[in-house]
């Protein structure tokens, strides 16, 4: 951990969950975000999407990096039945996504990019999440009482829906929250 103390870190994410997780990892960092077009080629599948997007976000920081500053970017998607679920656009979209996840296993991919002036590395984490069958009242309650609009797949595993819907997780729970902390720690030590 001492080797990480000599670096300055920028977390390029507005996500309070990512900020919380990185803080609890013990890293001293600043939060700085840039507006980046988050479109991607429709030929990309599964982990290719968040890997593409996190590198795209990191490349927006080229002018601000030196050998001692590392920017950390991340992007999380939900993948189910061969399609990507990003953040819902509205209430109806959130309902559609939660109905699609209901009673099924889906995959959560988070791509992470570490970039300094002369070095870049990307990696991803995969977690399989199994949902129970959700009824309409449960879906409506969650959407009306929580904020699914800033979350891939319209849900946060750390919220009420995670308590009542998640039957089983295979892989990193923190990946489902948006930042695979253990993997990030290992990659930072290597970086």
> Domain total for the chain?
1
* Pairing status of strand 69-80 against strand 83-85: antiparallel
pLDDT (tens, 9 = 90+) of the chain, 191 residues, equals: 667 778 899 999 989 899 999 999 888 899 999 999 999 999 999 999 999 999 999 999 998 898 889 999 999 999 999 999 989 999 999 999 999 999 999 999 999 999 999 999 999 999 999 999 999 999 999 999 998 998 999 999 999 999 999 999 999 999 999 999 999 999 999 99
| Distance from C-alpha of 89 to C-alpha of 179, rounded to nearest angstrom | 22
| Distance from C-alpha of 46 to C-alpha of 182, rounded to nearest angstrom | 21
CATH code for position 142: 3.90.950.10
pLDDT at 86: 87
C-alpha separations of 67 from 3, 63, 152, 182 in Å: 14, 12, 33, 24
Query: pTM for the full model?
Result: 0.93
Instruction: Enumerate the active-site residues.
Output: 75
Q: Residue 15 sits in which domain range?
A: 2-190
Residues 6+ apart with CB under 8 A from 136: none
């Amino acid at each position: 951990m001492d080797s990480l103390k000599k670096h300055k870190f920028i977390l390029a994410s507005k996500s309070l969950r990512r900020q919380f997780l990185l803080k609890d990892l013990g890293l001293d960092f600043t939060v700085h975000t840039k507006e980046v077009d988050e479109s991607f080629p429709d030929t990309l599948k599964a982990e290719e999407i968040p890997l593409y997007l996190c590198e795209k976000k990191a490349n927006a920081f080229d002018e601000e990096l030196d050998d001692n500053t590392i920017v950390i970017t991340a992007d999380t998607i939900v993948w189910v039945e061969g399609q990507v679920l990003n953040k819902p656009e509205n209430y109806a979209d959130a309902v559609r996504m939660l109905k699609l996840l209901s009673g099924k296993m889906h995959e959560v991919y988070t791509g992470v990019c570490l970039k300094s002036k002369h070095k870049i590395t990307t990696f991803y984490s995969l977690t399989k999440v199994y949902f129970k069958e959700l009824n309409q009242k449960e879906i409506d309650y969650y959407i009306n009482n929580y904020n699914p609009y800033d979350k891939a797949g319209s849900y946060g595993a750390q919220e009420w829906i995670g308590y009542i819907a998640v039957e089983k997780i295979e892989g990193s729970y923190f990946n489902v929250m948006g930042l695979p902390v253990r993997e990030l720690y290992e990659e930072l030590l290597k970086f």
